[in-house]
Amino acid sequence: MNNHLKFFIDGKWVDPVVPAVLDVINPATEEAYTQISLGSKADVDKAVAAAKTAFETFSLTSKSERLKLLKRILAVYNDRYEDIARAVSDEMGAPLSFAMEAQAWAGRGHMEATIEPLEAYEFSHQRGSTMVVKEPIGVCALITPWNWPLNQIVCKVAPALAAGCTVVLKPSEIAPISGIVFAEVMEAAGTPKGVFNLVNGNGPDVGQVMAGHPDVDMVSFTGSTRAGTIVAKTAADTVKRVAQELGGKSANIILRDADFETAVRKGVEGCFGNSGQSCDAPTRMLVPSDRHDEALKIAKAAAETFKVGDPKSSDTVLGPVVSQLQYDKIQRLIETGINEGATLVAGGPGRPEGLNRGYYIRPTIFGHVTSDMTIAREEIFGPVLSVISYEDDDDAVRIANDTVYGLAAYVQSRDIEHARQIAARMRAGSVYLNYPEWDTHAPFGGYKQSGNGREYADWGIHDFLEIKGIVGYAG
């Protein structure tokens, strides 16, 4: 018996107040493989009430108590690691090896990256006669996406609990099963009742209700800029804090002094990872104009090495994208790129050869893209790379920053000082020099329409805290 049709509220698995179900589709087969229940305002009210009651005592726990809880959660997470990875593979089509090595790993990594800084975190300090205290903000509504489910669940839940907050989580209804497994982890770890609650459902009926709920003190949302705008407007009526990690259209500047072959190849890999479904993917590759055709030749060769197919096959590199909606959107944007005059170098419309079902996308490279083209401006969220020319450093920086987004940027150069100079001019929350390893201790979040607030490690803990000044504390 699984918990797919239940919610986790006040320490118990419960049925929805109003029965309603949704099929969960395996994107590799286009068939439903399970169902979840869809929540309503009544379920949100129950979950928020449980979190509000639990906050009265959990907010007063010591740092030591919260550390013990997080360490128990990490231990149970590791026990359920393979179950989590298999859930991600089934619900979003990630190749099983990628689900194990990246998707499930991300949850573990963020739990570890929260525990470590919490050990040394100071929640108060005296400044003159005033005691400055950092206190948990309250009941937090956490709304997470389908593309990196455990990454976003854990990098919200862990710092919220570290700060002493209580939470209501709404995972994406498109990829909800890994969130249910995570709730089972929280239960098995002995999380006090009401501290962690899970309600499945869609955006209008659950997410927006959470965002506007008068007893919710903060919303942490990851998703599209369009949906984030709705969340922020809904939350505004109750003047609650809203932290958002939204869309991106990240530039990858390959400087003239870079190792060109390696930089282009790794840029293709970075764009295509997770089937292109990463908000910080380097989807705009900027190359010197006189080396544009050379870059296209390297990129084409790199794209043709990506084996697209069954996520359960050991040689699959890219699985499908998550849904029919995403598949149709990506196909439309590929067609738009062709119609607007970009050069199709690899891939193109339709499924890869030999695949007649599943939401599979051909790994696609466009060359001679200009910044006014749709594919250079819209977040495609699939394995589609746009290669753009620049004349000099100033031109590259101008093109890179010419976007409403500002989540990430990438710079490649053999000269690290040159790369640092360009990084200083990027209007983005994260800048990655020469394809570094994933750093779960680095701050993560965006400028402009890519959001506000920062996640990961102690940066995440900050976002869930209020600041109180007790003046005259010294007596």
Domain 7-246+450-470 has CATH 3.40.605.10: yes
| Model confidence band, residue 475 (pLDDT cutoffs 50, 70, 90) | confident
- Mean pLDDT for the stretch of residues 447-471: 98
Torsion sign over Cα 365, 371, 375, 379: positive
Domain boundaries defined on the chain? 7-246+450-470, 251-441
Share of the chain above pLDDT 90, in %: 99
List, edge to edge, every strand of the sheet that includes 364-369: 343-346, 364-369, 384-390, 284-288, 251-254, 408-412, 430-433
- Reduced to 3 states (helix: H, G, I; strand: E, B; else coil), residue 283 is coil
Residues 349-359 have a mean pLDDT of 96
Distance CA 62, CA 134 (A): 13
Per-residue pLDDT at 1: 78
Mean pLDDT of 172-176: 98
Q: Tell me whether residue 81 is exposed, middle or buried, using C-beta atoms within 10 angstroms of its C-beta: 0 to 12, 13 to 18, 19 or more.
A: middle
User: Per-residue pLDDT tens for 52-96?
Assistant: 999 999 999 999 999 999 999 999 999 999 999 999 999 999 999
| Short-list 46, 2, 48, 47, CA closest to 24 | 2
- Give yes or no for a contact between 433 and 233, defined as CB atoms under 8 angstroms apart: no
Question: CATH topology of 7-246+450-470 equal to that of 251-441?
Answer: no
Cβ contacts of 55 within 8 Å, gap of 6 or more: 136, 138, 139, 165, 166, 194
Is residue 88 classed exposed, middle or buried when 0-12, 13-18 and 19+ CB atoms within 10 A define those classes?
buried
Of 248, 93, 245, 110, the C-alpha closest to 178 is: 93
Tell me which H or E stretch contains 403. Answer: none
What mean pLDDT value characterizes the chain? 98
Q: Count CB neighbours of 475 within 10 A.
A: 4
Q: Are 185 and 67 in contact (CB under 8 A)?
A: no
For residue range 306-352, list pLDDT tens digits in order: 999 999 999 999 999 999 999 999 999 999 999 999 999 999 999 99
Distance, in Å, from the CA atom of 87 to the CA atom of 81, rounded to the nearest integer, reads 10
The pair of structure tokens assigned to 211 is 């965002």
The pair of three-digit structure tokens given for residue 455, joined into one six-digit string: 């996640």
Structure confidence by residue, pLDDT tens digits, 232-280: 999 999 999 999 999 999 999 999 999 999 999 999 999 999 999 999 9
Report d(CA 173, CA 371) in Å as an integer: 34
Token pair 């419309």 is at which residue? 349
| Helices assigned H by DSSP within 283-434 | 292-303, 324-339, 374-377, 393-401, 416-423
Q: Give the closest residue to 272 by CA, choosing from 194, 372, 173, 347.
A: 347
With beta carbons less than 8 A apart as the criterion, state whether 335 and 362 touch.
no
Question: Which pairs with CB-CB distance under 8 Å and at least 24 residues apart come from 332-341?
Answer: 333/374, 333/375, 333/378, 333/380, 333/382, 333/384, 334/364, 334/375, 334/384, 336/374, 336/375, 337/366, 337/369, 337/373, 337/374, 337/375, 337/384, 337/386, 340/373, 340/374, 340/375, 341/368, 341/373
d(C-alpha 466, C-alpha 458), whole Å: 14
Cβ-count burial of 294 within 10 angstroms (0-12 exposed, 13-18 middle, 19+ buried)? middle
Nearest to 459 by CA among 426, 416, 430: 430
The CA distance from 239 to 241, in Å, is 7
Report yes or no: 164 and 73 within 8 Å, Cβ to Cβ. no
Average pLDDT over residues 407-417: 98
Between CA 276 and CA 106 the distance in angstroms is 17
Sheet containing 124-127: give its strands across.
Answer: 124-127, 130-136, 465-470
* 209 contacts 43 by C-beta, under 8 angstroms: no
Q: Residue 242 pairs with which residues in a beta bridge?
A: 219
pLDDT, tens only, 189-211: 999 999 999 999 999 999 999 99
Could you list the active site residues?
Answer: 245, 279
Q: Rounded CA gap, 284 and 384, in Å?
A: 9
- What is the rounded distance in angstroms from the CA atom of residue 342 to the CA atom of residue 353? 23
- Cα dihedral 94, 100, 103, 108 in deg (nearest 10): 170
The residues near 274 (Cβ < 8 Å, ≥ 6 apart) are 94, 98, 102, 147, 148, 281
* Residue 290, burial from CB neighbour count under 10 angstroms (0-12, 13-18, 19+): exposed
Q: What is the pLDDT of residue 371?
A: 97
Q: Residue 160 above 90 pLDDT?
A: yes
CATH code assigned to 251-441: 3.40.309.10
- What does the pLDDT look like over 15-27, one tens digit per residue? 999 999 999 999 9
> What totals of helices (H) and strands (E) does the chain contain, helices first?
16, 20
